[in-house]
Amino acid sequence: MDVPTVLQQLDEPSTVTFQSTPELAGQVQQKAKKLDEERRERGESPHTRKDPLTAVSEAQRSASMHITPWEVLHTLARATALGRHGSSRALAQHWDCLRYVTALQNNHQRRMERSADGKDPRYHRKAVQAQDLGIAFGLATAQHIMRQRHPDYRFDIVDAELALEAGWVLRGSRSISRENTKLLPNYFLVGRKPDAPSRIVAVDCRGSHGKAEVQHKQLAQSAAHTQTFVLGETGCEGVPPPSLLMATGMAAKGGIETRVLDPDGHGVLTMPGKTAPDLDGPVDEPNLVPSITYTDTEGQRDSRPGFCLPTNRREWFSRVLARTTAASLLTFAGDREAARKLLTKRQGNRLGSAHSHVSSGMRCDTGIALGGMSFVGTDHVFRLDRQRVEVFSGVLEPLYQHLAGGQLHEYETALPDALTSWRRGKTDAEQDWGGTVHLDSTGALLAIRKQNSALRPLR
């Protein structure tokens, strides 16, 4: 496939459907009961799950979203920027989404599906593809749903394990190795708007190439993963935040489809005496106890492994979520050293040492002006069909300066105007780049083009 055709396909909007019905919820409940029976037969305790499992609102049950393959890959790149370990593999991890540049296309119904390349086992291992694209489509669908419900909020993607590492020891010799403390949602969606507390939604995303029954099992497993984080006081039974359970089928004949369940919960990080968190305040690194209090079937108080966020830690956790988002943006732009400064010590271990930053080949050392707007970030060149292709990942420069300086309030203040400027100048920016570009709601840009000396160069 030649490069112009690839770029055209990456920029073509497609329909991705999602299914969420009471019948699906019932099927997943039955699968969960079967999984619990299997655990009892092995002498293991059943997992605690969200109950009841419910579908999305009736107005959204037959909904779909329109999205380009490049937006899907941008979602994957942003979600995994800080989500994987091993700084020695930073360069490969950063551009991991590029393995799918020829994997997605429109079908005759304008629905997104895997292309012939995407189905070819020579290029893609099914398990890896299901995991990566399950994350990408799941998060894109989750953001679509939450934006419809709360149009005045922006919903950012935060790696859940990374965020929780700021308050709980999850690994190493000091961690409490208990099974349920390893049951975590993949991600949090964090809703933000000016002068308001943050909203938090637990999201667990999975993918498969199997039949619907496989996705029912995945959703039942996700119901356990999203029940291990609650809002509540120490010694009191907590309330889990809302959650979105996502299982994406890659092999359906009609195109890619995501099955969704939507258990309710309380996810507003309110703080006594405050309308909004101070994002620029200090962030310590406590060792909170990984325990959730609950009432058992006999009415007795008991505890189970998990993560309970008390009210007096809500502003702290709002800051953790904001700083983790900012660190992810800086890493996406190639600045791992600035990202490290926004993370706690435990969180920063994901980035490795300062020496490994140098040896990884990651640099925030390039930029470009597109549509009158300046971007800074990092770039990569690879071959496709024996032709050189150039990719740039970066952030609007004024936003980058705020993020690198740890000025999160200033970043939030500047972001709306920056996005408005992009919408006005998008057409000019696309012409300046000469390829496919996408800017997300955080100000992060991912752009790809055929390398050509006649185009505006990176500086």
The three-class DSSP label of residue 356 is helix
Given this model, what pLDDT does residue 301 score? 85
Please give the Cα distance from 210 to 228 (Å, whole number): 27
The token pair that represents 212 in the structure block: 């619907």
The pLDDT score that the predictor gives to residue 363 is: 83
Q: What pTM does this model have?
A: 0.95
- Predicted pLDDT at 223: 96
Token pair listed for 126:
């099914």
Closest CA to 329 of 262, 279, 401: 401
Per-domain residue ranges of the chain: 3-450
- DSSP assignment, residue 70? H
The two counts, helices (H) then strands (E), for the chain are 14, 18
State both tokens at 157: 């993607």
Query: What is the C-alpha separation between 389 and 70, in angstroms, rounded?
Result: 15
What pLDDT tens digit does each residue of the chain (459 aa) get? 899 999 999 999 999 999 999 999 999 999 999 999 999 999 998 998 988 999 998 877 767 899 999 999 999 999 999 865 445 566 777 889 999 999 999 999 999 999 999 999 988 999 999 999 999 999 999 999 999 999 999 999 999 999 999 999 886 555 554 555 678 999 999 999 999 999 999 999 999 999 999 999 999 999 999 999 999 876 667 899 999 999 999 988 889 999 999 999 999 999 989 999 999 999 999 999 888 888 777 888 888 889 999 999 999 999 999 999 999 999 999 999 999 999 999 999 888 766 554 545 578 999 999 999 999 999 999 999 899 999 999 999 999 999 999 999 999 999 999 999 999 999 999 999 999 999 999 999 999 999 998 899 998
Q: In this predicted structure, what is the pLDDT of residue 399?
A: 99
* C-alpha to C-alpha distance for 409 and 428, rounded to whole angstroms: 30
Q: Please list, in sequence order, all residues whose beta carbon lies within 8 angstroms of the beta carbon of residue 419, skipping any fewer than 6 positions away.
A: 439, 441, 443
Alpha carbon distance 276, 266 (integer Å) = 17
Which tokens is 237 given?
A: 């039974």
